[in-house]
Each structure stands twice: as C-alpha cells, then as structure tokens.
Chain A
Amino acid sequence: DSGVTQTPKHLITATGQRVTLRCSPRSGDLSVYWYQQSLDQGLQFLIQYYNGEERAKGNILERFSAQQFPDLHSELNLSSLELGDSALYFCASSVGASGSHQETQYFGPGTRLLVL
C-alpha cells in the first residue's frame, strides 16, 4: 500500500460524457501527478500539481483538466469523452515541488475508465 488513494476504482460511461477522477496523496506529500496508461500508448505523464498550482504539463488533451485543492487532494476531469479515452488513470505523489530526479513518486491503485 503506497498511501495514495484513488476513487473510483472503475468507471463506465458513454461517449460525450464527463467524469471526475479523484486522488488523495500520501500524508505530507505536496505534489500530485496524473498518468494515463492505454494499451497502445503505455504509461504517459499528463500533469503535475504542487500545493494547488500547476507545475508541469505533459501530453494532456485540452478536453482534460485537473486541479489540486487546499487539502491537497486532486481531481482529474475528463470531458467530451471518446472511445480512445478508455484507459487506466494513475495518480502519484511526492514530497516536494520540483519533482526532482531525486524525488520518488508513489503511485495509487488507479481508476479504470471504460468509454462505451
């Protein structure tokens, strides 16, 4: 158990819909990262938040957005869903801001999204 929690575990929805994925970081961690894992793309970094502010952006679609709240939990919002958005979505957390290459990221169990 990494200490990172994610809800829900599974989500089934239809194309065109909007969903929200939730992540709670490990106690004391200020940074939250979102990753997507699809069959054809592998694990890809989407976005990082540190203490409520966006810190780094990866291959995140404009239809996707995220935020981190004062209690440090984070939400990933996916809208206008397409079949290709079906994937595993993982949240990770680390202690600091820089995401330094010396800083370990710990992953949650993920949310499996299926778009029909």
Chain B
Amino acid sequence: DAKTTQPTSMDCAEGRAANLPCNHSTISGNEYVYWYRQIHSQGPQYIIHGLKNNETNEMASLIITEDRKSSTLILPHATLRDTAVYYCIVRGLMSGNKLVFGAGTILRVKS
C-alpha cells in the first residue's frame, strides 16, 4: 500500500476553512484514500473516503488531484471542536483488513 505524507501540525482560525493536505505519490489505481480523525484520545472517527472523484459529506470534502498523487481534506467552517489529529490513510488490496495509521496532522483551531 502507498505511504502517505502529512504535515506535522497546522493552525486554523475558527470559522475559516481548514485545508489538510496529504501526499500519496505512490498510490495505485485501486487504492482508496481514507480520512479519520482522533479527538484527544477518543476513538478514531471516520470522516470520508474516495477513489478518484471528489467527495463531500456532512463533515467534510475530499479533493483528490487528477493524478491521484495527493489529496486535500477540507473542513469548510472549522470550529474549536475540530481540533484533533487527522489521519490520511491509503487502503488497497494489501492492507484490506487493517488500517495503517501514520503520525497524522495535528490541527489546532483557534478562536
């Protein structure tokens, strides 16, 4: 499965959009990009996932570049409660049964 690279930390002003990048330059055609977040030692929370097309749900939007080598998770109006560690995970046939978590990005939303 492809490795991912995320910034260690990011800050965002409350009410503004938070854009979290993820690089997955070795992703292959059948691998999905998943995003989870973990708020202060709580259980990881599923946010969104996608293969090729951009995706949107009630929590966030996922923008995947045309070459699929990178993606951006967008929280449209960040609140203080969005402060968390955000994990970008690439899942394919090799990982199938498990999620492989990296270090993630610590997002701090500030008032």
Residues in A14-67 with C-beta less than 8 Å from chain B: 33, 35, 42-45, 48, 55-56, 58
**A35 shortest CB reach to chain B, Å:** 8
Cβ–Cβ < 8 Å partners of A56 in chain B: 96-98
B98 with A48: CB separation less than 8 A: yes
Please, how many angstroms separate the alpha-carbon atoms of A4 and B65 in the complex?
Answer: 33
Distance, CA A93 to CA B93, complexed state (A): 18
Q: Is the interface on chain A under 10, 10 to 19, 20 to 34, or 35 or more residues?
A: 20 to 34
Interface positions of B from 63 to 111, Cβ below 8 Å from A = 87, 91-93, 95-103
Closest 9 CB pairs of A and B: A99-B97, A107-B43, A101-B91, A45-B98, A56-B97, A43-B101, A107-B44, A109-B43, A99-B96
Asked whether B98 lies within 8 Å of A108 as measured between CB atoms, the reply is no
On chain A, the residues within 8 Å of B32 by CB distance are 101-102
Q: Is the CB of A110 within 8 A of B92?
A: no
Chain B residue with the shortest CB-CB distance to A105: B99
8 interchain pairs, CB-CB under 8 A = A35-B99, A45-B100, A55-B97, A99-B96, A101-B93, A104-B46, A107-B46, A109-B42
Partner of A2, one of B45, B95, B100, B102: B45
Q: How far is the CB of B40 from chain A (nearest CB, A)?
A: 11
